[in-house]
Amino acid sequence: MEYRIILIGCGTVGQGLLEILERKADYLRDRFDFEPRVVAITDKLKGSVLCRQGLNLKSLLTILEEGKKLNDYPGAKEKIPGFIDPLELIERVEAEIMAELTYTDIKTGEPATSYIKKALRTGKHVVTSNKGPAALHFHELQELARVNQRQFRIEGTVMSGTPVFHLFENGLAGNEIKEIKGILNGTTNFILSKMELDNLEYDEALKLAQELGYAEADPTADVEGLDAVAKVVILANALMGGRIKPEEVKRQGISHLRRSDILEARKAGFRYKLIARVRKEDTGLITSVAPEMIPLSDPLAGVMGAQNALTFDTDFLGKVTIQGAGAGKIETGFSILSDLLAIHRGEKN
């Protein structure tokens, strides 16, 4: 079955998705009868391209690798100006699915939220790895999707393509969830791992993370727990019926931790991890992001380096933990494919 897809944003995730769709075109058609056709892309930096029969992904990836604009795409295409505004593109181009892959603004959720609304209102399913809209406007967007009989899917917002929402919707369905807790930020987990295993102070481990590209020049969003807060809000609202706002999450970062704290905990049989947690209490949901000393017997204690993991505490299965990549071009690109395939299978979320 063919699906026409619009990409809004063509940075790392968008290019990861295009690579996957190009490499696996035959496999996806033969195995799942799934034939995606990317018909339009617009990106503030890279320009725009539009071809209603579907772009040749090989040519497209070649010009992107060469650092050229999307407008330089050599195949058949429509005549357009240098950059088409996403809202206009979404309005104008017929497609079954819009993949929203622009940057995360965790304060406003914009402009992504406006793009998502426009897409749902014009009858398109939406898949996104953008944490802003999912953290700030989940219920509104989900309701808009419902009214328009379309889907709003967000697998890539937590743990990149490692299945979190799929796991909840399928394998765990029928359980009631008492608590979700996890290691949802790879940068801080890398820093804590290095402090313990290589005996570094916080500043040294942070510097190493920056050199290796795990941490940004301004590491605040990671080390002060803001990134993990966005994810815990998404989990609380999307999976546990919450109406939590990011500022309501109890938050503490890791920058105050010293090597001596970590080694002392280790001697006592514990390990410091930045734990994101949402727990159902009689009074409502309790959410937090904070360094916690967890026993070495906890599955989360063994999660080292930039890996992520999440434990669902369920009524029938007890604790179920999933561990995998938390970031990455191909890993997050795959999150988009996995949502496209869920739409293709006709699953409802």
| Residues labelled catalytic | 231
- Write down the least CB distance from residue 72 to a copy of itself, Å: 28
* Nearest-angstrom CA–CA distance, 292 and 227: 17
Q: Where are the beta strands (DSSP E) in the chain?
A: 2-8, 35-43, 47-50, 97-100, 125-128, 152-153, 177-183, 250-251, 270-281, 284-295, 308-314, 318-324
* Nearest-angstrom CA–CA distance, 286 and 53: 49
Angle, CA of 288, 292 and 294, to the nearest 5°: 125
Convert residues 32-71 into a mask of x (bound to a copy of itself by CB under 8 A) and - (unbound). x---------------------------------------
The β-bridge partners of 278 are 180, 287
The β-bridge partners of 311 are 181, 321
Contacting residue, 8, 18, 70, 337, with a copy of itself by CB under 8 A? 337
Check binding of 153 to a copy of itself (CB under 8 A).
Answer: no
Q: Is the dihedral of CA 122, 128, 131, 135 positive or negative?
A: positive
- Write down the least CB distance from residue 13 to a copy of itself, Å: 13
Of 24 and 52, the one with the shorter C-beta distance to a copy of itself is 24
Check binding of 323 to a copy of itself (CB under 8 A).
Answer: yes
Check binding of 163 to a copy of itself (CB under 8 A).
Answer: yes
| Piece in contact with a copy of itself (CB under 8 A), picked from 1-9, 68-76, 79-87, 314-322 | 314-322
3-class DSSP state of 92: helix
For 199, the token pair is 């005996």
Contacting residue, 206, 301, 327, 343, with a copy of itself by CB under 8 A? 301
Convert residues 258-297 into a mask of x (bound to a copy of itself by CB under 8 A) and - (unbound). --------------------------------------xx
Give CA torsion, residues 169, 171, 174, 178, to 10 deg: -80
* Nearest-angstrom CA–CA distance, 159 and 104: 15
Contacting residue, 167, 286, 290, 293, with a copy of itself by CB under 8 A? 167
Are 215 and 187 in contact, with CB atoms under 8 Å apart? Answer: yes
Of 158 and 223, the one with the shorter C-beta distance to a copy of itself is 158
| Piece in contact with a copy of itself (CB under 8 A), picked from 53-61, 104-112, 131-139, 324-332 | 324-332
* Nearest-angstrom CA–CA distance, 133 and 138: 7
Check binding of 325 to a copy of itself (CB under 8 A).
Answer: yes
First to last CA, the chain: 20
Q: What one-character DSSP code corresponds to residue 240?
A: S
Q: What one-character DSSP code corresponds to residue 218?
A: S
| Piece in contact with a copy of itself (CB under 8 A), picked from 126-134, 165-173, 210-218, 228-236 | 165-173
| Piece in contact with a copy of itself (CB under 8 A), picked from 3-11, 99-107, 158-166, 211-219 | 158-166
Of 4 and 166, the one with the shorter C-beta distance to a copy of itself is 166
**List of residues contacting a copy of itself (CB under 8 A):** 20, 24, 27-28, 32, 155, 160-163, 166-167, 169-176, 296-297, 299, 301-304, 316-325, 330-331, 333-334, 337-338, 341-342, 345-347
